[in-house]
Chains A and B, each alone.
Chain A
Amino acid sequence: MSTAPPIDGEAPLRLRRSQPMSPYAKARLANWGLRLLPWLTIVAVWYAIRGFGLVSPGLLPLPQDIAATAWARLLDGELPRHILASTGRVLAGVAIGTAIAIPVGFALGRYATARLTLDPLINFFRALPPIALVPLVIVYLGIGEAAKVFVLSFSAFFAAVIVLYEGIAQMPPIYGHVARTLGANQSEIFRKLVLPYALPHILTALRVALGVTWATLVAAELVAAQAGLGAMIQMAASFFQLDVIYVGIIMIGLTALSMDHALRRLSRRLLSWQERVPS
Chain B
Amino acid sequence: MTVPSSLVFDGVSVAYDTPDGPITALGNVSLTINKGEFVAVVGPSGCGKTTLLKLAAGLLQPTTGRVTLDGQPIGAPGPERGVIFQEYGIFPWLTVEQNIGFGLELSANRVSEAERAEIVERYLDLMGLRDFRKAFPKALSGGMKQRVALARAYAVRPRVLLMDEPFGALDAQTRLAMQDLLLQVLEREGTTGLLITHAVEEALYLASRVVVISARPGRIKAVIDVPFPFPRTHHHLANEEFARLKGELTELVMEEYAAQSRLSLASQS
Q: Which residues of A contact B (CB under 8 A)?
A: 172, 174-175, 177-185, 188, 192-193, 196-197, 199, 272-275
Contacts and interface: CB of A to CB of B under 8 A. Distances in A.
Contacts of B156: 182-183
Nearest to A184: B106
Give me the 4 closest cross-chain CB pairs, A-B, nearest first.
Answer: A183-B108, A183-B79, A182-B103, A174-B89
Contact of B107 (A179, A181, A188, A274): A188
Given A183-B79, A196-B93, A275-B92, A178 B107 contact: no
Given A175-B89, A178-B85, A178-B89, A192 B108 contact: no
Interface string B68-90: 00000000111101110101011
Contacts of A177: 57, 59, 77, 83, 85, 89
B228 interface: no
Interface string B94-125: 10000000110111110000000000000000
Nearest to A182: B103
Interface in B118-168: 136-138, 149, 152-153, 156
A273 B82 contact: no
B242 interface: no
Contact of B79 (A182, A197, A274): A182
B57 A181 contact: yes
Contact of B91 (A185, A193, A199): A193
Contacts of B85: 174, 177-178
A179 B57 CA distance: 12
B138 A274 contact: yes
Given A177-B59, A274-B92, A182 B87 contact: no
A114 B76 CA distance: 24
Most buried by B among A181, A193, A197: A181
B108 A178 contact: no
Nearest to A178: B89
Contacts of A181: 57-59, 77-79, 81-83, 153
A26 B89 CA distance: 42
Give the interface centre of B58, B77, B152, B156 by most chain A CB atoms within 10 Å.
B77
Contacts of B102: 179, 182, 192
20 contacts: A174-B85, A175-B89, A177-B57, A177-B77, A177-B89, A178-B89, A178-B91, A181-B58, A181-B153, A182-B79, A182-B106, A182-B109, A183-B78, A185-B106, A188-B106, A192-B105, A273-B94, A273-B136, A273-B138, A275-B92
Interface of B: 57-59, 76-79, 81-83, 85, 87, 89-94, 102-103, 105-109, 136-138, 149, 152-153, 156
Among A172, A188, A199, the one with the most B-chain Cβ atoms within 10 Å of its Cβ is A188
Contacts of B106: 179, 182-185, 188, 192
A139 to B, nearest CB: 46
A273 B136 CA distance: 6
A204 to B, nearest CB: 15
B266 to A, nearest CB: 29
A256 B176 CA distance: 55
A265 B87 CA distance: 32
B149 to A, nearest CB: 8
Contacts of A192: 102, 105-106
B54 to A, nearest CB: 9
Contacts of A197: 93
Nearest to B82: A181
A64 to B, nearest CB: 49
Nearest to A177: B59
A141 B59 CA distance: 51
Given A183-B156, A184-B108, A185-B108, A275 B93 contact: no
Contacts of B107: 183, 185, 188
Contacts of B79: 181-183
B72 to A, nearest CB: 15
Contacts of A272: 136
Given A177-B83, A182-B152, A273 B108 contact: no
B157 to A, nearest CB: 11
B92 A273 contact: yes
Select the residue from A179, A182, A275 with max chain B CB neighbours within 10 A.
Answer: A182
A272 B93 CA distance: 8
A180 B153 CA distance: 12
A203 to B, nearest CB: 13
Contact of A183 (B87, B89, B109): B109
Given A180-B59, A181-B57, A181-B78, 19 more contacts: A172-B87, A174-B89, A177-B83, A178-B91, A178-B152, A179-B106, A180-B76, A181-B79, A181-B81, A181-B153, A182-B109, A182-B156, A183-B79, A183-B107, A185-B106, A185-B108, A192-B102, A273-B92, A273-B136
